[in-house]
């Protein structure tokens, strides 16, 4: 999506994809595949294609370092690579950004290149949150803010004032599956539809490389968890498949809203 948006703007681009992480669709554009650890090859691909400006995008699992094959470029950066094994995601990502910047690359956020891929503000679908939903959104924003300050996660589910689930390393999909199970087993004592998923970037997060994302699958899983809707930080959450995401929300009867972070801070 980002490559399409950049092309549409007349930008020349080259994609470096990590094998087993990036999708084959990158092959529709000029590209180079690298394996985990082929850092020298990555830099050659960037330099041979004149990429002084880069965007780092897409989730990756933390690599199993025992399976990584280090090339010569990687050996030179070994102390840096080993340092990535520790700390929270934000800590890791900030160091990745600094790593590229120290080598002279300019690192941009996806939203800088294609702001239309970010969630907008206000009611994005056909439904509007109720007063109860808004109270749940406000609490969930506070929760996600607290999570973010500790570099834990970017999402939480609140149902009628009760924090049902909080995202850490498992990711949003797994968290929503858990919410659906909690509801199915009656653990939450709430059979009627209700509650919200909130996604927002960590405060002070390296937003250029780790924007939270939302797509049609997120909406479907939120519906399966019996939630009333989804609130995302306006301008702070990637919504690449915009039409399909809003369409899924309307189809499942969920509201989908973009909230400003001022609301998180109680303004």
For the chain, counts of helices (H) and of strands (E): 11, 10
CB of 172 to a second copy, least distance (A): 13
Write out the binding residues for a second copy, residues 60-79 only, by CB under 8 A.
Answer: 61-66
Angle at 209 between CA 207 and CA 210, to 5 degrees: 70
Q: Does 150 bind a second copy (CB under 8 A)?
A: yes
Residue 122, interface with a second copy (CB under 8 A)? no
Least CB distance to a second copy at residue 245 (A): 25
Binding mask 206-245 for a second copy (x = CB under 8 A): ----------------------------------------
Where does residue 187 rank: exposed (0-12), middle (13-18), buried (19+ CB within 10 A)? exposed
Nearer to a second copy, 57 or 140 (CB): 140
Helices (H), the chain: 2-8, 39-48, 72-76, 78-83, 89-102, 110-113, 131-149, 172-184, 216-224, 242-252, 261-264
From the list 105-113, 136-144, 197-205, 240-248, the region that binds a second copy by CB under 8 A is: 136-144
For residues 168-187, which are near a second copy according to CB under 8 A? 168-170, 174, 178, 182, 186-187
Residues 6+ apart with CB under 8 A from 192: 226
CA–CA distance, 43 with 41 (Å, rounded to integer): 6
Site for a second copy in 81-100 (CB under 8 A): 85-89, 91
In the block, residue with structure tokens 């985990």: 36
Question: Distance between CA atoms of 53 and 105, rounded to whole angstroms?
Answer: 6
Residue 160 sits in the site that holds a second copy (CB under 8 A):
yes
* Interacting residues toward a second copy by CB under 8 A: 61-66, 85-89, 91, 139, 142-143, 146-147, 149-153, 156-157, 160-170, 174, 178, 182, 186-191
């Amino acid at each position: 999506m980002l490559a399409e948006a950049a092309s549409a703007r007349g930008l020349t681009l080259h994609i470096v994809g990590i094998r087993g992480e990036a999708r084959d669709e990158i092959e529709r554009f000029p590209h180079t595949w690298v394996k985990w650890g082929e850092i020298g090859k990555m830099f050659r691909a960037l330099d041979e294609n004149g990429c002084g400006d880069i965007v780092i995008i897409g989730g990756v699992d933390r690599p199993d370092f025992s399976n990584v094959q280090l090339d010569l470029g990687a050996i030179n950066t070994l102390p840096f690579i080993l340092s990535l094994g520790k700390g929270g995601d934000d800590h890791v990502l900030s160091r990745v950004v600094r790593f590229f910047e120290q080598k002279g690359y300019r690192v941009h956020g996806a939203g800088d290149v294609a702001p239309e891929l970010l969630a907008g503000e206000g009611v994005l679908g056909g439904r509007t949150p109720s007063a109860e939903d808004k109270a749940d959104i406000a609490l969930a924003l506070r929760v996600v803010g607290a999570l973010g300050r500790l570099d834990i996660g970017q999402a939480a589910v609140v149902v009628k004032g009760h924090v049902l689930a909080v995202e850490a390393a498992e990711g949003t999909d797994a968290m929503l599956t858990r919410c659906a199970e909690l509801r199915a087993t009656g653990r939450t004592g709430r059979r009627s539809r209700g509650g919200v998923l909130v996604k927002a970037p960590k405060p002070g997060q390296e937003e250029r490389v780790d924007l939270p994302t939302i797509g049609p699958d997120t909406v479907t899983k939120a519906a399966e968890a019996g939630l009333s809707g989804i609130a995302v930080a306006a301008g702070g959450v990637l919504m690449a498949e915009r039409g399909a995401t809003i369409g899924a929300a309307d189809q499942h009867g969920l509201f989908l809203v973009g909230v400003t972070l001022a609301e998180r801070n109680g303004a």
